[in-house]
Structure 1
Amino acid sequence: MEMRTTRLERRTGEDRTATVEALRARLRGMQQAVPERAAPVPLGLGEVVQGLRGGAAHSIESRSLALACLGAALPAGAWGAIVGMPDLGIEAARDLGVPIERIALVPHPGRAWFDVVASLAEAMPVVLAASPGRVAPTDAVRLAARLRQASSTLLVAGPWPGAATVVRSVRAEWQGLAAGDGRIAEGSLVVEASTSGAARVARVPLTGASPAVDGVGADELVA
């Protein structure tokens, strides 16, 4: 099954309103009503971040961790979106828990990045977007207001000014190897998260004795 690709262009005024309403109309027939709640945090990150607050943007400086957060953050039956990741691997996303059958994919938002993200956030509870690069503080403030109004969660794979939470993968650690020999007994990913300026560090267990988390190598998680 393939991710659905959605084409959104820069729109203003009535055109933008019509685009948002069309998205909402399509989604109403596909997703279930769910109560508002803080998005759960995957991969044991609950030690560090007590849920990803809705109505805000969160910076996750690892694409794999961001995908895992998207998969965990989506309420049951809800649709989400991924913006600005043309090279995204469908199988890798599925392995990280992303329900690909309920994802709208906008691989090339171009200069309309802010309009696309804002429009999707008004229609969907969680949007994951690759950082567009340098962001003007005024643009970040305007998008933050739209997120608050829609009570939507924005996960940015990369830096984001004024992010409510910043999550960084620091390094992977393995136990069981001796002088390069032997078998890996267990592993952990060292993660640092900052909320309201307070940084916390946790070791997130990796699955089994394999250097992977849900099918994704630890080197990818740290990258």
Structure 2
Amino acid sequence: MTAESTLSAEALAADRLQRARAALQGVEVRMGAPSQGWQAPTFPCAENLEAVIPAGLRRGQVVSVTGSTSLMLALVAEASRDGAWTAMIGMPHVGVVAASRRGIELSRLALVPYPGVHAAAAAGACLEGMEVVLLGEGLALSFADRRRLMTRVRERGAVLVVAGPWEGAHTSLTVESHRWLGLGAGDGRLRERQLTVAVGGRAHGNARRVTLTLDEDSGARWVRPGVRQTLGVHQTLGVNQTLGVNQTLDEGVA
């Protein structure tokens, strides 16, 4: 890669970050920042997740999830439906179709799929204006970056849900095994996904294992090889961002 192309990529990333900050400022003007007197100490979770998050998602805390993007989305779906603004950073494999199927309200969703070297700045900016922030795995975050983000989460009363291990997480969920339910003889609909999850973290003491079932994903249907359908989606988000997505119906989120 040449020096010129490197500078061009950095300039593009910086421009995206600037536009994301401008969008978040618009959100704050319309709604007010979450720190301006938030009252509810927790965000709700679906009933089928009570085994892993019995009291819901507590504001000011970090939850790490290893082994399942679907579980990450399921954890925040009720909060999103309940009115929480949500951001997904560094998760380019999760499109708006998959997010919607898992219950995320698209009109209150911001996407930063490729933050690059600006991951810490993007996460910090989103925590200023969003109540729930999801971080993908493998982002360019130093130990100091992570500590600063945890401080920001506490100050703003937000919830940070991260993919992969996170030192100091209040709740750590690790998917150890899973299996799909619902297939018949040769075809059928994947109606449920059963997960075995190890639950640990600062808020839970000794680790424990639980089994939970994720509800039906209406788009996750197994079909015989060679049969594919394509869905085109053009979705305008509530933070003045427009996304174009081309997603196949038989693709799922792990």
Instruction: Give the alignment's TM-score, normalised by structure 1.
Output: 0.73
**Alignment deviations for residues 82-111 of structure 1 (CA, whole Å, 9 cap, x no partner):** 111223222211111111121011122111
1:134 and 1:186, CA in 2 relative to 1: closer, same or farther beyond 3 A? closer
Task: Return the structure number with greater relative CO, CA threshold 8 A, min gap 6.
Answer: 1
Matched to 2:178, the amino acid is: A
**Alignment deviations for residues 6-56 of structure 1 (CA, whole Å, 9 cap, x no partner):** 932499xxxx8x886444114449xxx974231233362211222222112
Single out whichever of 194-203 and 96-105 deviates more from structure 2: 194-203
SS of residue matched to 1:112: helix
Please report how far the alpha carbon of residue 127 of structure 1 lies from its aligned counterpart in structure 2 after TM superposition.
0.9
1:37 equivalent to 2:34? Answer no
Aligned partner of 1:48 in structure 2 is 52
Q: Is the 8 A contact 1:60 1:157 kept in 2?
A: yes
Aligned partner of 1:72 in structure 2 is 78
Single out whichever of 106-115 and 45-54 deviates more from structure 2: 45-54
CA distance in 2 between counterparts of 1:132 and 1:176 reads 33
1:193 equivalent to 2:202? Answer no
| Structural RMSD (CA) | 3.8
SS of residue matched to 1:44: helix
Matched to 2:17, the amino acid is: L
SS of residue matched to 1:105: strand
Aligned partner of 1:7 in structure 2 is 16
CA distance in 1 between counterparts of 2:166 and 2:220 reads 25
Can you give the 5+ residue segments of structure 1 that lack an aligned partner in the other structure? 1-5
Q: Is the 8 A contact 1:59 1:163 kept in 2?
A: yes
1:52 and 1:188, CA in 2 relative to 1: closer, same or farther beyond 3 A? same
Single out whichever of 67-76 and 168-177 deviates more from structure 2: 168-177
**Alignment deviations for residues 178-200 of structure 1 (CA, whole Å, 9 cap, x no partner):** xx99x999863222221324222
Aligned partner of 2:169 in structure 1 is 163
1:152 equivalent to 2:152? Answer no
Instruction: Report the count of equivalent residues.
Output: 203
Matched to 1:7, the amino acid is: R
CA distance in 1 between counterparts of 2:144 and 2:192 reads 45
Q: Percent identity?
A: 34
**Alignment deviations for residues 124-180 of structure 1 (CA, whole Å, 9 cap, x no partner):** 111112134464322211111111110110111222222111112222357899xx9
Aligned partner of 1:205 in structure 2 is 213
1:93 equivalent to 2:107? Answer no
Q: Is the 8 A contact 1:171 1:191 kept in 2?
A: yes
Aligned partner of 2:227 in structure 1 is none
Superposed, 1:104-115 pairs within 5 Å as 104-115=110-121
Q: 2:69 aligns with which of 59, 63, 73?
A: 63
Can you give the 5+ residue segments of structure 2 that lack an aligned partner in the other structure? 1-14, 222-250
SS of residue matched to 1:120: helix
